[in-house]
Amino acid sequence: MEIDEISARLTVLETVVRQLITHMAIRDDDPTRWVQTRKTLAMNAIDADGADGSERVALLHEAITEFFDQAEVVASEYSFVGKPGTPRPFVR
């Protein structure tokens, strides 16, 4: 495979995963917290995996943070002050 093809496939995969995360988050009672929990779980998985070198771990943590940023923004739009989450009738 060429680098461009691999890059394109990774972009597609990232886009699909972001959409799935957003889709799942807005169905939770507290979408922002749901996304933050998944982000924390991803960070913990990197730490538990024992990625070699603190530079590599830092790079992976940065990538995870950037990945979840968009989902957090979208999820926060579905979280209402005083009322977490989106009312169920509006989500389905």
Lowest mean pLDDT among 12-21, 25-34, 68-77, 79-88: 79-88
Domain that holds residue 39: 3-91
| pLDDT for the residue 83 | 54
For the chain, what is the domain count?
1
Q: What's residue 8's pLDDT?
A: 92
Predicted structure pTM score:
0.71
Q: 40, 67, 44: which is closest to 57 by C-alpha?
A: 44
Q: 16-71, pLDDT tens digit by residue?
A: 998 899 888 888 888 889 999 999 999 999 888 766 678 888 899 999 999 898 88
Write down the pLDDT at residue 92: 47
**Contacts from 31-35 at CB under 8 Å and sequence distance 24+?**
31/75, 31/76, 31/78, 31/79, 31/84, 31/85, 31/86, 32/72, 32/75, 32/76, 32/79, 33/84, 34/75, 35/68, 35/71, 35/72, 35/75
pLDDT band (50, 70, 90) for residue 90: low
pLDDT at position 81 over 60? no
Assigned token pair, 56: 């590599």
